[in-house]
Structure 1
Amino acid sequence: MESVLTYVLQVNLLLAIVFFGYVLLLRKLTFYKLNRVYLLIGGVYALVYPFLDITNWFRSNEVLSIDAVLEYVEYYLPEQGAAVFSVGHLLLIVLGIGTIVLLLKLSIQLLSLMRIHRHSKPSRWKDYFFRNVMFPIVPFSFFNKIYVHQEQHDSPELQDIFKHEDIHVKGLHTVDILLFEMLLIGCWYNPFVWLMRRAVRQNLEFLTDQQVLDKGVDRQTYQYSLLTVTKQGTAVGIGNQFNFKTLKRRIMMMNKRRSSKMELSKYAFLLPIVIFAGATFTVSKAEGKIEELVEHIKDIPVDVVLPIVNKDTIIAQAGGLELNADAVPFLVGTEDTTKRTANILLHNGSSAKPLYILDGNILPGSFDLNTVDPNTIESISVFKGKDAISRYGDWAKDGVIELKSKADKEAVGGERAGVGVKIRNC
C-alpha cells in the first residue's frame, strides 16, 4: 500500500512541475506544436518516471550501511487481533471512489458519442467526408470522424468548419484529449491536473486556428464563423469541437504576433528541470530492494528465520546482495540454520543446490556450510540467474554462494566493524 501512495505522490508532484513550467514560460508563446509535445511528453513522463532508476544513470551502484537498512526493518511479530485498517487504506478508498465516479462520467460521454454516431450517416461535402447528424450539434471530430449537422450551416461556415476539423483529424488531437482525460481520472484530486487538461485543449485549438489561417483563410471571416458556430446545438465533451468558452482567448492568440526564435531557449531551459525533478522524486532501486526485502522477511515463517538478537544482526533475503559476515551471523550446528539461511538468500526456500566457491576455489558438492567457523569468513556474496551463469557457466544455474576467508583472524577478533550491504546490478 505504501508503494502505491508513494507512486501517486511522485506522479502528482511532477505533473504540478510540468504545469507550472508551461504556465510560467510557454503558455504565451505561439510555438503551439512544441507546446503540444511538451505537454504530451510531460504527462507520459510523469506516469512512467517512478519506475525508472534515474539516479542510477549517473552511478553504477549504491553502497548502504547496515544502519540504513535497519531503518526499514522492524522487529516484526504478528499480534493477535491487530488492526489491519489504516489511514492509508482510507485514503486509497477515497481516491478509488473519485476515480470510479469520473470513469462513469467518461463512459456516459462515450455512450453519448455512440448515440450521435448511430443517428448520423456517411456524407460528403466537396472534398471532405463526414458524418451528417440528424439533429443540431456543435461540430466536432473524434479520431478520423467529423460530425456535423449540415442543415444548420451555410456554405462559408461549412468551409471553415471542415478546414478546422480536418486539421484535428490529421493531427490525431483526440489522442491528447484521451490521455489527459485518463490522467484526470487517476489524479482527480490534483487541481493542477484539471488546469493542465484545459491547457491541453486550449493549445490544440490555438494550433488548429494557426494552421487554418496559414492556409489563407480570411482572419475576420473565420473568427465570425467561430462565434456563430459555437452557439448552435449540443456539445460533446470528449471530442475536438468549436468551444465558445475559450473563444475570446483564441481570437487574442490569433491576433498575437508570432514569438521570436530566441524564445525557443525556454524549452531548452525547462527540459532538464523536469528530468532532474523526476530524479529527485524517484526512490532509488536500493531503497526499493530493501523495502521488498523487508516484506519477504515478514512472510518467512518464524521457525525458518534466524533470531534477530541485536542491531548488528539482520536476516536478508534478496538475490544479488553482498553481505559482510557480521551482517548474517551464522550459528554453526544449530538446527541446520546456516544452510537454510543461505538457501533463503538465494532461492527463497527452494530445494535447488547452489555452487559454493571459497576464495576462488569450487567446493565439492558434499560441502556443508554448517561446518564453517563464522569467525573465519570475511564476506558472503550471493549470485543468481544470468549473473551466476556468466561467472561460472552452466554449473551455476542454481546460483552461486561465494565465501571469502579472513586474511588475519587475530586482527579481526570479535569486533563487528565495516558492516555494509552492497546491492549489485544483476
Structure 2
Amino acid sequence: MDNTIIAYLIKASVALGLFYGVYILCLKKDTFLKLRRFFFLFAILFSLLFSLFNVEIPMTEESVQIPTYWLSDIELSDVSVDGSAEKPLSGWTVALLLLSTVSVFFACRFLIQLFSIFKLRISNESEKISEFRIIKMKEVKTSPFSFFHWIFINSETGTSVELAEIIAHEQIHVKQYHSIDVVLSEILCVFFWWNPFVWLLKNEMKINLEYLADKGVLDAGFDTKAYQYILLQVSNKNTGIPLINNFNVSQLKKRITMMNRKKSSIFLSVKYLLIVPVGVALILGNAVQASSDLMGIIAQNESLVEEYITEGQQVPQKKDGVFVTVDKMPMYPGGESAMHKFINENMKYPVAAQTAGIQGRVIVRFIVKSTGDLSDIIIIRGVEKQLDDEAIRVIKAMPKWNPGQQKGKDVDVYYTLPFVFRLAGAKKMKESGSSNETVVVGYGTQNDKKSAVGVASLQEAKSGEVPDHAFVTVEDMPMFPGGESAMHAFISENLKYPVAAQTAGIQGRVTVRFIVSKIGEISDVNVIRGVDPALDAEAVRVVKAMPNWTPGKQNGIDVPVYFTLPIVYRLKGKTDNRPNLFVSGEKIITESEYKEMVSEAKSDPNAMMVEIVLNDAEAIKIYGEKARGKRVIDVKKVKK
C-alpha cells in the first residue's frame, strides 16, 4: 500500500514537471492569458487523475497469459508468532511517514491562513455591493486583496479614483473565480511540497491571475499610466497571506511589462494543443506499466479460455522457454494436502504486520524446473514488504516438486501461488466457499482438477442473494451445453471465413468477451481485440448464435460470469509452404493414414477432426530431425 501511494505521487510529479516544462519552453512569452489559465488548471487536474485510470493496450500475438493455479484454504489466522519474527519498517513506510509529516505542517499552515482571512472578515466592517462584499480593514499597513466574493480594502488607501481602480482590479479576481486557482495551488503544495515544479507552477499561476486582473482593469477604460502608478504605491505593503489574490505582488516589473507587451498573433495559440501529446504520452506510459503488471496475474481475472482455429486448436504456449500450460502440471511432493501442511507449519505472520492490522493476499509466481527445483520466485501482487518477504521465504524453503510434463517429458513450468494473510479478529471461513466469503477459483489446463482457495473476508453476497455484477471467476464456470466437444462442433459448423477477408489475405486472432447470465443467456458480446471488421463481426455472430449455456455457480447460486473466447482465422497455405509432416500423439503417420482419418471423421456424424500445428522447436524436440523444415500437424479425431 505504501509503495502504491509513493508511486502515485511520483507519477503525478513527473506529469507536473512535464507540463511546467512545456509552459516554460513554449507558452510563457505569449499573451493568451485565459488559455494559459486553462493550461495550468488542466495540468494540475490531469496530473492528479491520469494515473488512477488504466487504459488497456491490446497485447501482441506473442504475449503469453500465465495461468494462476490456486490451492484451497491456504489461510493464515490464529497464528502463534514469536517475537523474532518482527521486522523493521520498510523503506516505503519510512518515506511515506516523512512525506506525511511535512505535509501535515503545510496543511496546518493552510488552515491558519484560512483562519486569518475569516478573522479579518469578522473583525472588520463590511458593505455589500452587487455580488461583492467590501470589507474595510482597520489595519492600515495591509494592502488590498480578495478571497472569493470578499474584497478587503484599506479605508485610507489613496483618493477615491485610486480606490476605484483597486476595487476594479479585485472585482476581476472575484468575477473570474481566481481564488479557486489559488486554493488549488496551495493544496497542491501541501501534498507535493517536495516537488520544486509545484512551487514554480504555483508562482506562475498567481502572476498570471494578476495579468488577467490587470488586463480587465485596462479593458474597462482606466488609464494605463495612472494604474501602473497605483501599483507602485502599494508595492511596499503585503498581507503575508499567500492564500489570497493580493493587489500587491513581488513581480511588479513583470506585470508592467505584460501590460505594455504587444498582443500575440492568434495563430500562435495553436501551441496550447501541446497538452494533447503530453497527455497521451502520460496515459500510454501509465497503460504500459499497468499492462506489464497485469500480465503476471491476468489468468486470475479471466475465465477458462478455449482457443479455436478454423482447422483446429493451438498448441500449449511457452514464454521465454518456460511452459505456461502443459499436459501434466507440476505437483508438490505428496500432493495438495501435503503442501497445505507444509505452509501451515512454516508460515509466520510478522508481528509488526499484525500490530499494524495489515492483511491481504500475496501472489507469488515461480518456475518449477524440469529437475523439480524452484527458481525465479517473484511477487506479482503484494500487500506489504514483510508479508511479501514471508511468502517468498516459505516458497524457497519448499522441497523439490514433481516436475510438469509435456508429451511425456519433464519441462520447466510457470506456477502461481496465492497466500492469504488474515488476522484472527477477521471473520473466519468455516469452509471453502462459505456463503458470506468471496472465493476465487483459478483454472489450469483442461486436465487440471479445479480447486478453490479461501480468500480474505470481503463480503461478496449474502446467502441466497445474486449479485448484479458479473463474476470473472467462480466455483463452477459456465459451460456450453454438451461440454467442450459440443462447442468444438458448434463453432466448426457455424463459423464462416468471410470471402472478402480470404481474398485480401486477412488472418489473425479475434478475441471476444461476453457474459453468460444466471439463466445461461449470452449477452454483452464485445470484441476486445479485433483483426478486421468482417472477421470481428463473424466471430460476434457465432457467439450470439450459441444456445443457452449451463450458467456458472458461486456458493451454489447461479450467477452471471464473464467468459473470453479467442477465435483464430488462418488461411491454408498462406503463411507456411513447407511440406507437411502428420503426427498423431507421438507417432508419425503417413499422408494416406491422415486422409483415412479425415475420411472416417467425415463419415461419422458424431466425430470431427482437430488439427494442431506445432511450433518448430517443440516439433524437433519431440520428433527429432524428421520434423526439421516441416510443417508438423498433430491430428486427432474427437467426438462432437
For residues 370-389 of structure 1, the C-alpha deviation after alignment (integer angstroms, 9 at most, x for no partner) is: xxxxxxxxxxx997999987
Superposed CA deviations along residues 100-147 of structure 1, whole A, max 9, x for unmatched, are: 110111111111112211121222679964111222221111111111
Aligned to 2:118: 114
The 4+ residue runs of structure 1 with deviation greater than 6 A are: 60-63, 67-70, 125-128, 291-294, 298-302, 316-322, 347-353, 381-389, 401-404
* Equivalent residues of 1:354, 1:399 under 8 A apart: no
- The structure 2 residue matched to 1:312, chosen from 404, 414, 434, is 414
Please name the residue that 1:421 is paired with. Answer: none
Equivalent residue number for residue 194 of structure 2: 189
How has the CA–CA distance of structure 1 residues 108 and 129 changed in structure 2, closer, same or farther, with 3 Å as cutoff?
closer
2:502 matches 1:361: no
Matches within 5 A, 1:162-311: 162-232=167-237, 234-282=239-287, 283-284=289-290, 287=293, 295-297=361-363, 309=401, 311=413
Task: Tell whether 2:461 aligns with 1:340.
Answer: no
1:122, 1:131 within 8 Å by CA — same for their partners in 2? Answer: yes
- Which structure shows the higher strand fraction? 2
Distance (Å, rounded) in 2 between the aligned partners of 1:12 and 1:30: 27
The whole-number CA distance in structure 1 between the counterparts of 2:119 and 2:143 is 15
Alignment match, 1:376: none
State which drifts further: 279-288 or 143-152.
Answer: 279-288
Give distance in 2, aligned partners of 1:124 and 1:15.
39
* Secondary structure of residue in 2 paired with 1:116: helix
Return the offset for 1:289: 8.1
Looking at structure 1, the residues matched to 91 and 519 of structure 2 have their Cα atoms a distance apart, in angstroms, of 41
- Pairwise CA distance, 1:275: 2.7
Which structure would you say has the larger RCO, counting Cα contacts within 8 Å and 6 or more residues apart?
A: 1
The 1:227–1:64 alpha-carbon spacing in structure 2 relative to 1, beyond 3 Å, is same
Match of 1:410 among 563, 572, 585: 585
Distance 2:172 2:270 in 1: 28
TM-fit CA distance, 1:83 = 1.7
Shift of 1:248: 0.8
Query: 1:66: Cα distance to partner?
Result: 5.0
Normalising by structure 2, we get a TM-score of: 0.50
> Cα 1:182–1:125, aligned 2, differ >3 Å: closer, same or farther?
closer
Q: Name the CA distance, whole Å, in 2 between partners of 1:108 and 1:215.
A: 35
* Cα distance per residue 1:237-258 (max 9 Å; x no partner): 2111112411111001111101
Q: How many Å apart are 1:150 and its aligned residue?
A: 1.5
Aligned pair in 2 of structure 1 residues 61, 51: CA closer, same or farther (>3 Å)? farther
Match of 2:30 in 1: 29
Contact in 1 for aligned 2:12/2:51 (Cα 8 Å) = yes
Q: Quote the residue 1:375 is aligned against.
A: none
- Compute the displacement of 1:227 (Å): 1.2
Q: 1:246 to 1:321 in 2, by over 3 A?
A: farther
CA contact (8 A) 2:516 2:563 kept: no
Preserved CA contact (<8 Å) 2:148 2:174: yes
Identity score, percent:
23
Q: Contact 2:144 / 2:247 at 8 angstroms: preserved in 1?
A: yes
Describe how 1:378-397 pairs up with structure 2 within 5 A: 391=523, 395-396=551-552, 397=558
82-91 or 182-191, which deviates more: 82-91
Q: Distance in 1 between matches of 2:563 and 2:283?
A: 37
Whole-Å separation in 1 of the counterparts to 2:564 and 2:159: 86
| Matched residue, 1:74 | none
Which residue of 2 is the match for residue 325 of structure 1? 445
State the partner residue of 2:622.
none
Q: In 2 relative to 1, CA 69–31 (structure 1 residues): closer, same or farther, beyond 3 Å?
A: farther
Higher helix proportion, which one? 1
- 2:306 maps to which residue? none
The CA deviation string for residues 21-68 of structure 1, in whole angstroms up to 9 with x for no partner, is 1111111110000000011011000000001223x2x64999853579
Larger displacement relative to structure 2 (110-119 or 289-298):
289-298
Alignment of 1:98 with 2:98, yes or no, is no
Give deviations 1:230-277, integer Å, cap 9, x for gaps: 323634221111124111110011111011112112112343223323
Amino acid at match of 1:325: T
Q: CA deviation at 1:201?
A: 0.3
Check the 8 A contact 2:33/2:212 in 1, yes or no: yes
Pair 1:213–1:409, CA change in 2 (3 A)? farther
The separation in 2 between residues aligned to 1:403 and 1:196, in whole angstroms, is 46
Name the CA distance, whole Å, in 2 between partners of 1:158 and 1:222: 11
Give the TM-score of the pair, scaled to structure 1: 0.73
**3-state SS, counterpart of residue 132 of structure 1:** strand
For 2:516 and 2:418, the matched residues in 1 are separated by: 15
Structure 1 residues without counterparts, runs of 5 or longer: 71-76, 333-337, 364-380, 418-426
Once residues 130 and 210 of structure 2 are traced to their aligned partners in structure 1, the CA distance between those partners, rounded to angstroms, is: 24
Residue 133 and residue 290 in structure 1: after superposition, are their counterparts in 2 closer, same or farther (change >3 A)?
farther
- Cα distance in 2 for partners of 1:387, 1:217 equals 74
1:134 match: 138
The residue number in structure 2 matching 1:39 is 40
CA contact (8 A) 2:12 2:48 kept: yes
Equivalent-residue separation in structure 1 for 2:197 and 2:145 (angstroms)? 26
State the secondary structure of the residue aligned to 1:36: helix
Q: State the structure with more CA Rg.
A: 2
Map of 2:52 onto structure 1: 51
Q: Specify whether residues 383 and 85 from structure 1 end up closer, same or farther in structure 2 by C-alpha distance, changes over 3 A only.
A: farther
Contact 1:319/1:383 (8 A) holds in 2: no
Q: For residues 399 and 188 of structure 1, do their structure 2 counterparts lie closer, same or farther at Cα, with a shift above 3 Å needed?
A: same
CA contact (8 A) 1:319 1:384 kept: no
Distance 1:88 1:150 in 2: 53
Q: How far did 1:174 drift? A: 0.6
**Equivalent position of 1:87 in the other structure:** 91
Query: Which 5+ residue runs of structure 2 have no aligned equivalent?
Result: 70-75, 301-359, 364-381, 404-412, 420-437, 465-473, 485-512, 524-547, 553-557, 566-582, 587-611, 619-640
Measure, in 2, the Cα distance between the counterparts of 1:142 and 1:62: 57
CA RMSD of aligned residues (A): 4.6
Q: Does the 8 Å CA contact 1:231/1:244 hold for their aligned counterparts?
A: no
Q: 1:104 to 1:145 in 2, by over 3 A?
A: same
Write the distance in 2 (CA, Å) between the matches of 1:40 and 1:386. 46
Query: 1: distance between equivalents of 2:90 and 2:40?
Result: 36
The one-letter amino acid of 1:26's match is L
Separation in 1, partners of 2:481, 2:205 = 60
Distance change >3 Å, CA 322–CA 203, structure 1 → 2: farther
Partners of 2:517 and 2:551 within 8 A in 1: no
